[in-house]
Amino acid sequence: MKKLKFTTILTLAITLMLSCSKDNNETTITGDYFPSVLNNYWNYSIVQKTTNPSSTSNLQDFISVKSVTSSGFNLDANSGNGAKGVMNVVLTSGTPAKTASTLTLTGKLKVPINGIDDLYINFNNAILYDLNADKNELLSTFNGTFTQDLQGLPLTINYELRFNKIQNSKSLTVNNKSYNNITGTTISLNLAISTTIKVNGANTTLSILDAQDILAIKSYYGENVGLLQSDSNLKVEFSAATLSTLKTLGIDTGIPASQLTTNTQNLTSFNVTQ
C-alpha cells in the first residue's frame, strides 16, 4: 500500500514538473530568425512620442545587410545615415552573430535622455534572442560604473542592463500581416546618476537620478523574416530637489525633471534570402 502511494505521488510530481516546463515555453520553434544574406533588407515604420518637450514623429527605417563574414554580419541603416528605431539603433551598433538558436551582439545601447547627450552602455556578446530559453529566463546581464561630463558637471553613472526571454508564441500580427513562430526578448536598463560638487568648500554628493528601471525594449522576431516589431519605453524621474539645488548654485543642467519617450517600430516590407 505504501509502495503504491509512493508511486502515485512520484507520478504526480513528474506530471507537474512537465506541465510547469511546458508553461514556461509552450511553443517549440526552430529556424532562421535573422536571415543574414548580403543585401537582405527590412523597412520599418516608426512612431516616436516624447514629453518635455512634447512631440510626435513619424519616421522610416531602411535596414540592410551590409557585409557578411565568417564570424557575423553588419547591418546598415538608411544608407549610412543612422537608424531611427531604438532597436534598429542597437542592431546597427555592432556586429551580430548567429548560432542555430541564438543571435548575439557586441555593441552599445544609446540611452535617449533629453539633456544628456552621448550616453551609451556598452555590452559584449549579449544574447538578443534564444529560441530554446524559457519564458523570463535571464539571457545576459551587464553592470558597471562610469563617469561622464555634463556642461562641466561630473556625473557618476551606475547601470545594470538585462536581457530576458519573452515566451515563444505561434503567431504575431504586425501591420495587418500575420507572422508564424515568434520569439522575443526584453532589454531593461536600471540607471542611477549622481554628482559630487563643492558646497561651502566641502565635497558634497548629490543624487540626480535615484536607481530606477528607466528603459524597456520589447522586440519580436519571426521565423525566416527577422525583427518584426519593437516597442521601447523610456521613463525617467530625476530628483527635482537636486536639479533645483544645482540651479541655485549657478548650474543649469537643462535636464527636464521627468521624461517619457516611446518608440515603436513595425515591419512594413522586407526582402530576404535564406
| 232: Cα within 13 Å, side-chain hemisphere | 24
pTM (2 decimals)?
Answer: 0.88
Nearest to 206 by CA among 217, 221, 196: 196
CA distances from 211 to 48, 73, 224 (A): 25, 35, 39
Nearest to 223 by CA among 180, 252, 266: 180
At CA 137, angle to CA 135 and CA 140, rounded to 5?
140
Chain-centroid distance of CA 112 in Å reads: 12
Q: Which pLDDT value is given to residue 8?
A: 54
Q: Which pLDDT value is given to residue 21?
A: 46
Beta carbons of 83 and 77 less than 8 angstroms apart: yes
Q: Which pLDDT value is given to residue 251?
A: 86
Q: Which pLDDT value is given to residue 254?
A: 84
Q: Which pLDDT value is given to residue 152?
A: 84
Q: Which pLDDT value is given to residue 169?
A: 97
Q: Cα–Cα distance between 239 and 255 in angstroms, integer?
A: 10
Q: Which pLDDT value is given to residue 201?
A: 78
Residues of the chain predicted below pLDDT 50: 1-4, 19-25
C-beta neighbour count of 30 within 10 angstroms: 11
CA distances from 214 to 27, 91, 121, 191, 211 (A): 30, 20, 13, 7, 9
Domain ranges of the chain: 31-271
